[in-house]
Structure 1
Amino acid sequence: MLEIKGVNSFYGKAHVLNDLSFGVERGQVVALLGRNGAGKTTTMKSVMQLVVPQTGSVTYQDQTITRLQPHKVAKMGIGYVPEERRIFTDLTVVENLEVGRQPAREGTVTWNEDMLFDMFPNLAERRSNRGKELSGGEQQMLTIARTLMGNPSLILLDEPSEGIAPVIVEEMARVILKLKDEGLTVLLSEQNLHFAQAVADHVVIIESGTAKYQGTMSELQANPDIRDTYLSV
């Protein structure tokens, strides 16, 4: 579904992604792992073309999306949930969801508010609250729900477990597995290996903007040397 091939991305003169290559198969949950500063967020932004790769290509469903405008990438069926959440704090939960609404897309789930409130009971209880009145975990849920209103086939989750209470982390894992059951493909970046182990089928470990390891989650769990080399603090 998604192929990143030989991507080099920069912030000014800082070379962040260095010939990065990996793929995501349809229906997989793939965890992009690595230490802080490894290039995980830049990878997400390079897929969305918020950071435009200087060289290399990003292909989505056999179509090259490199150098497309980000809103056109989104309209092709890629949803992006940034780490910063970026909800509309003065809008209610329902109003935030309406902002994300896009037309139905062939071959994908067509989400509506009732379906999302079933998935996120906390949001159902606070549907009339403004975004600024929600907890950090609830804001994270709202960002995911708003993204789903765009009916994506592929959803990018940047550090979904970061900075939220443990009980909400468990809820987030349940949601990701539910999305997989609904046929969505998920690429998530994580530093929390325990969380990634709970949801991911496949792992890509990056260091200094390069893919150092790719394999199944079970293969990684059986390889402590890889974990110690690339993921230990």
Structure 2
Amino acid sequence: MLEVDRINTFYGGAHILRDVSFGVGAREVVALLGRNGAGKSTTIRSVMGLTRPRSGAVRFDGTTITGWAPYRACRLGLGFVPEDRRVFRELTVLENLEVGRRPPRTGAPAWTAEGLFELFPNLAERRATAAGRLSGGEQQMLTIARTLVGNPRLILLDEPSEGISPLIVEQMARVILEMKSSGLAVLLSEQNLHFARLVADRAVIIEKGEVRFRGTFAQLDAEPAIARETLAV
């Protein structure tokens, strides 16, 4: 469904991503792993069109979308959940969902506000609360719910477990598995290897802007030096 083919992305004169390649299949969860600053978020931004790769290609469901404006990628069926959440703080939870709502899309699960409240019971209890009054974990849930109500076919999650409580992390894992079972493909960037194991089918490890590993967690376990060199603090 998603193919990233040898992309090179720069910030000014700094070469951040170097020939990064990987894919995400339909109904698959792929974890993009690496230390802080390895290039995970830049990869997500390059896929979404927030940062244009200087070379290489990004293809979504057979369409080359390299450098497309994010709104065009969204219309095609890509959803994006940023690390910094970006909720509309003065709007209620329900109003935030209304902002993200789009018509049902062929080949994608159709999410409603009530269906999302079943998935996120914390939000159901606070549907009339201004988003700015939610906890960090609840804001993360709201950002995911607002993206889902746009009915994407593939969702990009940037550091979904970062800075939230262990209890919310467990709920987040359940939500990602529910996304997969509903038919969504998921690409998530993550530093937490334990969390990635709970939800992902495969891992892609990036170090200093280059792919060091692509494969299953069983394959990663068979090469412990890779995790030690690229993920250990």
TM-score normalised to structure 2 length: 0.98
Counterpart CA distance in 2 for 1:141 and 1:219 is 31
Residues 51, 67 of structure 2: 8 Å contact kept: no
In structure 2, distance between residues paired with 1:69 and 1:187: 19
CA displacement, residues 126-173 of structure 1 (integer Å, 9 cap, x when unaligned): 000001110000000000000001100100000000000000000000
| Partner in structure 1 of residue 101 of structure 2 | 101
Equivalent in the alignment of 1:183: 183
2:19 is the alignment partner of 1:19 = yes
Q: Quick check: 1:216 aligned with 2:216?
A: yes
Mapped to 1, the partners of 2:68 and 2:175 lie a distance apart of 30
User: Displaced runs of 4+ in structure 1, greater than 4 A?
Assistant: none
Deviation, 1:223, is 2.7
1: CA distance, partners of 2:210 / 2:3: 15
Is the Cα–Cα contact under 8 Å of residues 154 and 185 in structure 2 kept in the other structure?
Answer: yes
Q: TM-score scaled by structure 1?
A: 0.98
- In the alignment, structure 2 segments of 5+ residues that lack a partner are none
Shift in Å at residue 60 of structure 1? 0.3
Counterpart of 2:5? 5
> Deviation of residue 217 (structure 1)?
1.8
Q: Distance in 2 between matches of 1:142 and 1:9?
A: 30
Match for residue 116 of structure 1? 116
CA deviations 1:46-78 (Å, max 9, x no partner) are 001100001010000000001211100011000
Counterpart check, 1:166 vs 2:171: no
The runs of 5 or more residues in structure 1 that have no matched partner are: none
Pairwise CA RMSD of aligned residues?
0.7
* Cα distance between partner residues in 1 of 2:228 and 2:11: 29
Shift in Å at residue 230 of structure 1? 1.1
Distance (Å, rounded) in 2 between the aligned partners of 1:103 and 1:192: 34
Following superposition, the deviation at residue 187 of structure 1 comes to: 0.3
| In 1: Cα distance, 2:17 partner to 2:159 partner | 18
Provide the C-alpha distance between the structure 2 equivalents of 1:209 and 1:189, rounded to a whole number of angstroms: 13
1:218 CA displacement: 2.1
Q: Give the share of equivalent positions with the same residue, in percent.
A: 61
Amino acid at match of 2:17: L
Residue 221 of structure 1 deviates from its aligned partner by: 2.8
Cα deviation 1:188-220 (Å, max 9, x = unaligned): 000001100111110000011111100012221
3-state SS of 1:8 partner = strand
- The one-letter code matched in structure 2 to 1:158 is D
Match of 2:203 in 1: 203
